[in-house]
Every structure is written in C-alpha cells, then in structure tokens.
Amino acid sequence: MRGALGNVAAGSGARRAGVHIDTIIVAPFWFCALSGAVIGAVVGSFIGAALIRLPQGRSLVFGRSSCESCGRRLTVAELVPVASWVALRGRCRGCHAPIGGWALASEVGGMAVGLGSVLAGAWVGLGLWQMVVGALLGWQLLLLALLDLRHFWLPNRLVAILALTGLGAGWLRWGISPDLATFTVAGGLLGFGLLWTVARLYQGVRGRQGLGAGDPKLLGAIGLWVGPLGVVEVLLGASIVGLIGVAGMMLAGRDVDARTAVPLGSCLALAGWLVWIAFQGFS
C-alpha cells in the first residue's frame, strides 16, 4: 500500500486538451482515511433522507429533518451519522418509534464508500482526483442501489445524472478525442444495448417482463464510466452478487423460484463501482 498518501506526493496524472490536473497530497494516511469515512457518513445521511423523500415526491433541499412517525424536528445531536442511531438504539427520542435500519445502512454505506475510495486509492495507486471521482461515483450508485433494493425503483433523473457525470469523467480522462468515443460512448451504448436486447428477447419468449425498465439505462450509464470491456465485467460481477443474494435468501428460509424478484440494479451498482476502481488502478 502506498504508505501515506502519507508524507509523500501523489499526482493525479489526469490530462486533457492541454490542461494538466495535478494534485499533491501531504498528509498522514490515517487522516485521509478518517476524512473519507467522516465525509462519507455525512453523505450517507443525505442518501438516507433521499431514500425516504424521493419516493414521496418531497424536496431534498427544503424542509428540516424530522421523525417520520411523530413529525418532531430532530436536533443537531440526533443528526450525527451512525453515532446518533446507535445512541438512540434505532428509535425516536420522542415517540420511541423505530427509525429503521435503512437510515443506518445509508450512513454505513456512505462511510464505506468514502473510506473504501481512500483505501483502494492507496492500494492501487490512485491520485486524489481519482479518489474523489471514485467516491462521487460510489455515492451515486449507493443511492440507486438502495432505492432499487427497497422500492425496485431506479429514477430516470438519477440515472441521467450518473450518465452525465460519467461523460464528464471520460472527458477529464480522454479529452475530446477518439478515445472518448471508443471507450466512454461505446461503453454506454453497449451497456444499454445488451440489457435492452435481453429484456426484449425474454419478453418475446416468455410473454412477460423479466427486467425492470431502469436496468438497461443503469448499465448504460455505468458503461460510460467503465467502457465496453468493463460492461462485460460488471455483468459478470452483478451475476455473482445476485447469486450470492439468492443463496442468502434461501439460507434465510425464503421460498425462491423463477418469479422471485431480484434487484438487478443493486447488483449492477455494486459491481460497477468495484470495476471502476479496478480499472483506474490497473489501466
């Protein structure tokens, strides 16, 4: 592991259209890791709020945080990620209604993405800008994964934002060049085209829908980040994650058959982030 991010200089190495993006990190590794975890937990808290508000059509910007059961406004101390949930034992301080595990999962997941981006960056040798971009990708995918896992819903506007940021990341990496088209754009087209074709074939043969309408769009957006080869790796990784999930359901005693719904978007999201990190480190 690159010992420090820690008392050594790490350059991003990103170049585009004559502009050199170069970032120097001089900080102990523990400080970088702690910062990633703390920032990730705060972002995860926002993701937890979005997980509740988006399906209800509520604003993510306006309106103070409050208990979903009694409506009591939460204090600053009750908004501290992870720690407040643990201190309150997962219940509202006022009405004692369960807060639920989704809020904790969002905060822990956001923390894992922030910390994981730093750890992966140190392990495979990423620059600061790559760690930041990787964390932004991870947080976007975390929100989509949790929405699909809880509601089987992949909002078009969130997938569109993921696609636009993927194009932006491709532009930073390749500039306006043939590489931008052959890697970024081709990855997006392949990702969408593969799952769209599978969905149409399945519906034609079985006479019913087998994939959600958002899954091809999500893989297309991920494809803009990981490129054509990465799309294949994401599909393979998502299949493995899905099989592990099904095995877990069976071990938990749930009945599983051909009609059991599996949140493919959640599997694609996890695999997409891991493939992007690996591609950045070994390309």
Give the pLDDT mean for 218-234: 96
State the average pLDDT for the chain: 85
Q: What is the pLDDT of residue 13?
A: 40
- 264-282 vs 128-151: helix crossing angle, rounded to 10: 170
Res 9: pLDDT? 34
> Taking 80 as the threshold, does the pLDDT of residue 27 lie above it?
no
What are the extents of the domains in the chain? Answer: 1-151, 156-283
Determine whether 283 is exposed, middle or buried from the number of CB atoms within 10 Å of its CB (0-12, 13-18, 19+). Answer: exposed
Interval 131-182: pLDDT, tens: 899 999 999 999 999 999 999 999 999 999 999 999 998 888 777 788 787 8
Q: Which one, of 213, 183, 179, lies nearest residue 196 by Cα? A: 213
Alpha helices in 152-185 (DSSP H): 156-174, 178-179
Percentage of the chain exceeding pLDDT 90:
48
Q: Which residue has the higher pLDDT, 90 or 233?
A: 233
* Reported pTM: 0.87
Give the Cα separation of 58 and 9 in Å (integer): 44
DSSP code, position 8: S
Binned at pLDDT 50, 70 and 90, residue 21 comes out as very low
pLDDT tens per residue across span 245-262:
989 988 988 888 777 888
Q: What is the pLDDT of residues 69-112, one digit of tens each?
A: 887 888 888 888 999 988 888 888 888 888 878 999 999 999 99
The torsion of the CA quartet 203, 207, 210, 211, rounded to 10 degrees, works out to 40
Residue 109: its pLDDT value, please? 97
> Nearest-CA neighbor of 139 among 169, 117, 168?
117
Is the pLDDT at 5 greater than 50, yes or no?
no
Q: What is the pLDDT of residue 26?
A: 58
